[in-house]
Structure 1
Amino acid sequence: MQGLTRLKVFEERSVLLMPAKFAAGHSKKWTWDEIQLCGLPYLQYFRDGGAGRLNDTYLSLLHLDIPARIEVDSTSTMLSLVANGIGWTITRALAILQNPEKAKDVIVLPLPAPELSRPLYLLARPDESQRLISRVGEVSREIFNNEITPELKKIAAWLLKPRN
Structure 2
Amino acid sequence: MQTNTLQIRRARVMPDLHALETFMTVCEMGSMALAAQRMGVSQSAVSQMIKVLEGAYGVQLLDREVRPARTTRAGNILLEMGDSLLADARNISNRLRQSVRQDHAQLRLGCVDSFAATVGPSLIRALSGSARQLQLWSGLTPGLNTQLLARDLDLAVCTEVPSDPRVAQRVLFSEAWVAVLPRGVDCSALREAQDIKRQAQQLPLIRYTSRSVIGQQVERFLRHLGVEMPQRYAFDATDPLLSVVAAGLGWAISTPLCLWQSRAWLDQVQVVALPPSRLGQREFHLLYRDAQWSQTADEILRLTRTTLELELLPALRAAMPALSSDALIVSQPFPTA
- Fold conserved between structures, TM > 0.5: yes
In structure 2, relative to structure 1, the CA distance for the partners of 1:156 and 1:130 (3 Å cut) is same
| 1:3, distance to aligned residue in structure 2 (A) | 4.2
Q: Which segments of structure 1 move beyond 4 Å, counting only runs of 4 or more?
A: none
Between Structure 1 and Structure 2, which shows a larger proportion of helix residues? 2
TM-score between both structures, scaled by the size of structure 2: 0.44
* TM-superposition CA deviations, 1:22-77 (whole Å, max 9, x none): 23xx4263433333334111112112221211111111222221112212222101
What is the percent sequence identity of the aligned residues? 24
TM-score between both structures, scaled by the size of structure 1: 0.85
* Contact kept? 1:13, 1:159, Cα under 8 Å: no
**Other structure's SS at 1:120 match:** strand
Between Structure 1 and Structure 2, which shows a larger proportion of strand residues? 1
Indicate the residue corresponding to 2:196 in structure 1.
35
Indicate the residue corresponding to 1:92 in structure 2.
255
Distance 1:81 1:20 in 2: 12
| 1:131, distance to aligned residue in structure 2 (A) | 2.7
Distance 1:132 1:42 in 2: 41
* Contact kept? 2:271, 2:322, Cα under 8 Å: no
Residue type at the aligned position of 1:34: D
Distance 2:274 2:306 in 1: 27
In structure 2, relative to structure 1, the CA distance for the partners of 1:40 and 1:126 (3 Å cut) is same
Moved more, 59-68 or 31-40: 31-40
**Other structure's SS at 1:8 match:** strand
Indicate the residue corresponding to 2:309 in structure 1.
145
* Contact kept? 1:19, 1:107, Cα under 8 Å: yes
Distance 2:321 2:189 in 1: 12
Residue type at the aligned position of 1:37: R
Which structure has more RCO (C-alpha within 8 Å, separation ≥ 6)?
1
CA RMSD of aligned residues (A): 2.1
Instruction: Give the total of aligned pairs.
Output: 161
In structure 2, relative to structure 1, the CA distance for the partners of 1:49 and 1:130 (3 Å cut) is closer
Distance 1:27 1:106 in 2: 14
In structure 2, relative to structure 1, the CA distance for the partners of 1:158 and 1:105 (3 Å cut) is closer
In structure 2, relative to structure 1, the CA distance for the partners of 1:100 and 1:17 (3 Å cut) is same
Q: Is 1:103 equivalent to 2:266 in the alignment?
A: yes
Task: Give unmatched runs, 5+ long, in structure 2.
Answer: 1-163, 328-337
In structure 2, relative to structure 1, the CA distance for the partners of 1:151 and 1:15 (3 Å cut) is same
Distance 2:294 2:210 in 1: 37
Distance 1:21 1:158 in 2: 15
**Other structure's SS at 1:22 match:** coil
